[in-house]
């Protein structure tokens, strides 16, 4: 299994020379295993992903964690959606009332976007998920609702013995009792436990978080505590604030880890990084 980062910025694309190391595109991850191509989220990073996709690929599975703009804004610019020879599946969280296809139509319609879903050369195949387990090729996927405003899923991607967990937007303090002491009562634990690699929301410093409780995001310190609770092998901090420069991100990580003795790796997620699993 191969995991490539095409976007790890949160909220809004933030291009600029001060963001060259970690990148400015919003959430988009490519997971490949043999002929299987899975894309996690359709943030602005999906534009470049679409440009560099192998011409051999005829079927693509796009799994959306939720429908906030930074996770969907790139969909209309995803080239395979305009290629009738490529079958595109779109997965996203179900709700009690409104079908996913209707919620996606809000984006694919004026004034937000000129092309309607029905005007695409072939309509994407829509799959609604909640607490689900399913397979795409040799990859098994588990999804579960996690703590973030509006219906939001976390994904656990498994291939052979390798596990990749994806929780890009997740508020740990709101979704846990006595965090980080009770795994059973912590949102996202089932998704991330014992993962080889965890991408987790780490938008804020601990001080910033105190003024943004309920906004759906976590601090670097909480993300690290969650990684430790889950027994992950590697944690890559995700959802970088759009106002934060490379230098500021590195300072944040240093400040948060300098007094910790960790038995797993912690790093800042960076656009272009590739992780390979056996």
- Interface with another protein (CB under 8 A), residue from 91, 145, 166, 275: 145
- Interface with another protein (CB under 8 A), residue from 50, 175, 180, 216: 175
Shortest approach of another protein to residue 126 CB, angstroms? Answer: 14
- Interface with another protein (CB under 8 A), residue from 94, 109, 140, 248: 94
Shortest approach of another protein to residue 96 CB, angstroms? Answer: 5
Our finding on whether 263 is near another protein (CB under 8 A) is: no
- Interface with another protein (CB under 8 A), residue from 56, 184, 263, 278: 184
Question: What 8-state DSSP symbol labels residue 247?
Answer: H
**Closer residue to another protein (CB): 101 or 174:** 174
- Interface with another protein (CB under 8 A), residue from 15, 102, 130, 181: 130
Our finding on whether 199 is near another protein (CB under 8 A) is: no
- Interface with another protein (CB under 8 A), residue from 77, 87, 126, 183: 183
Phi, psi angles (nearest 5°) of residue 93 = -70, 140
Instruction: Give the C-alpha distances (Å, rounded to integers) separating 187 from 12, 108, 174, 178, 179.
Output: 25, 31, 9, 12, 10
Nearest to 189 by CA among 249, 258, 142: 142
CA 183 to CA 235: how far, in whole Å?
17
Q: How many helices (H) and strands (E) does the chain have?
A: 7, 14
Considering only residues 155 to 174 of the shown chain, the ones binding another protein according to CB under 8 A are 174
Our finding on whether 95 is near another protein (CB under 8 A) is: yes
Q: Is the dihedral of CA 34, 36, 39, 45 positive or negative?
A: positive
Phi, psi angles (nearest 5°) of residue 270 = -130, 135
CA 256 to CA 222: how far, in whole Å?
10
- Interface with another protein (CB under 8 A), residue from 151, 168, 180, 227: 151
Residues that bind another protein (CB under 8 A): 93-96, 128, 130-131, 144-147, 151, 174-177, 183-187, 189-190
């Amino acid at each position: 299994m191969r995991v490539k980062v095409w976007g790890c910025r949160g909220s809004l694309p933030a291009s600029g020379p001060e963001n060259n190391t970690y990148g400015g595109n919003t959430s988009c991850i490519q997971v490949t295993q043999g002929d299987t191509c899975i894309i996690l989220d359709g943030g602005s990073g999906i534009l470049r992903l679409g440009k560099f996709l192998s011409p051999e690929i005829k079927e693509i599975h796009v799994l959306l964690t939720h429908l906030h703009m930074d996770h969907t804004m790139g969909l209309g610019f995803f080239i395979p959606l305009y290629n009738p020879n490529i079958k595109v599946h779109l997965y996203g969280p179900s709700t009690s009332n409104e079908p996913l296809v209707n919620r996606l139509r809000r984006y694919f319609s004026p004034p937000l976007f000129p092309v309607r879903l029905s005007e695409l050369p072939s309509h994407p195949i829509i799959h609604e998920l909640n607490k689900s387990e399913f397979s795409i090729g040799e990859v098994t996927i588990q999804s579960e609702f996690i703590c973030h405003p509006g219906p939001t899923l976390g994904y656990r991607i498994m291939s052979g013995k390798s596990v990749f967990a994806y929780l890009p937007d997740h508020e740990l303090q709101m979704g846990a009792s006595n965090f980080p002491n009770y795994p059973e009562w912590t949102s996202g634990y089932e998704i991330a436990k014992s993962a080889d690699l965890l991408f987790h929301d780490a938008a804020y410093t601990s001080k910033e978080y105190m003024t943004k409780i309920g906004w759906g995001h976590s601090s670097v310190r909480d993300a690290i505590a969650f990684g430790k609770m889950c027994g992950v092998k590697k944690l890559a901090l995700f959802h970088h604030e759009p106002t934060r420069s490379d230098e500021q991100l590195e300072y944040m990580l240093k400040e948060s880890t300098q007094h910790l003795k960790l038995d797993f790796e912690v790093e800042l997620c960076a656009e272009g990084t590739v992780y390979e699993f056996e």
